[in-house]
Amino acid sequence: MSLNENSFSVVSAQKLGLTFETGDGPVHALSNVDLEVKKGDFVSFIGPSGCGKTTFLRVIADLEKATSGDIRVNGMTPEEARKARSYGYVFQAPALYPWRTIENNIALPLEIMGYTAADRKARIERTLDLVNLSGFGKKYPWQLSGGMQQRASIARALAFDADLLLMDEPFGALDEIVRDHLNEQLLKLWARTQKTICFVTHSIPEAVYLSTKIVVMSPRPGRVTDVIESTLPKERPLEIRETPEFLAIAHRVREGLRAGHSYEE
């Protein structure tokens, strides 16, 4: 992690707050969030539902606007960053367009951003290979399994030149075995592409397995309760989840979650 210490800050939030005005009065989705995400980091956001982890990701993506504090993405406001197409976003569901084939779904951002046809073709091929979907380009999304669809949506987010990948519980709807497999692939992909990844999850093993930095959040109001720098090596086989080091980090995450969450409610 020493490599990252002086490197460029991709996301930097100071005293960030977001309040939704609802019929039942204001809801504090985020309050006083301070956070730095460095270039090349794999940051997981973990916490119970309502802790604002998805909201925070959506603020980075300029899909929501913060109501107080300051946030910079690649040194710009989120809106400028979005207009500069600085990030790829992977949603909870694949959100592939059913009238487009897989390769045309991957071509969608490329068409919008004005890449040439030849460039599009090369990028589709490369990203399909990255997510192990070569040969499925001509299929329609509804002809593939849920795991394959989600991989296609990751390919779509990787197709254009954004260094930041925002992932909102991308594997939440998949079963454990597929999920393990995709986690392993995601780590390899992260190593190959050198992207910065912000990853929202509610699974402790997933967060510990994937991340260089784990942000533990708690609800009412949504806030950061702990930031854990992972001591695990960059090379992580699935078996690493049995090691004492892994379990120690998982324990600290669990403690952080418990501290922030009062079960008496």
CA distance 259 to 255: 6
Q: Judged by CB, which is closer to another protein: 160, or 209?
A: 160
Could you give the string, one character per residue 158-197, with x where binding to another protein holds by CB under 8 A and - elsewhere? Answer: ----------------------------------------
- Cβ contact 123:115 at 8 Å: yes
CA distance 76 to 62: 11
- Cβ contact 40:211 at 8 Å: no
Closest by Cα among 112, 15, 25, 117 to 66: 15
Give me the least distance between CB of 38 and another protein, in Å please: 22
Near another protein in 112-131, by CB under 8 A: 112-113
Binding another protein by CB under 8 A: which of 36, 77, 93, 184? 93
CA distance 155 to 232: 27
Q: Judged by CB, which is closer to another protein: 45, or 209?
A: 45
- Cβ contact 24:195 at 8 Å: no
β 87-90/164-168 pair status: parallel
Q: Which stretch binds another protein (CB under 8 A): 43-51, 93-101, 118-126, 229-237?
A: 93-101
Q: Judged by CB, which is closer to another protein: 74, or 218?
A: 74
Near another protein in 71-90, by CB under 8 A: 82-85, 87-89
Near another protein in 50-69, by CB under 8 A: 61-63
Binding another protein by CB under 8 A: which of 15, 26, 68, 111? 111
What angle (nearest 5°) sits at the alpha carbon of residue 84, between those of residues 74 and 13? Answer: 30
- Cβ contact 37:10 at 8 Å: yes
Contact residues: another protein, CB under 8 A: 61-63, 82-85, 87-89, 91-93, 95, 97-99, 108-109, 111-113, 140, 142
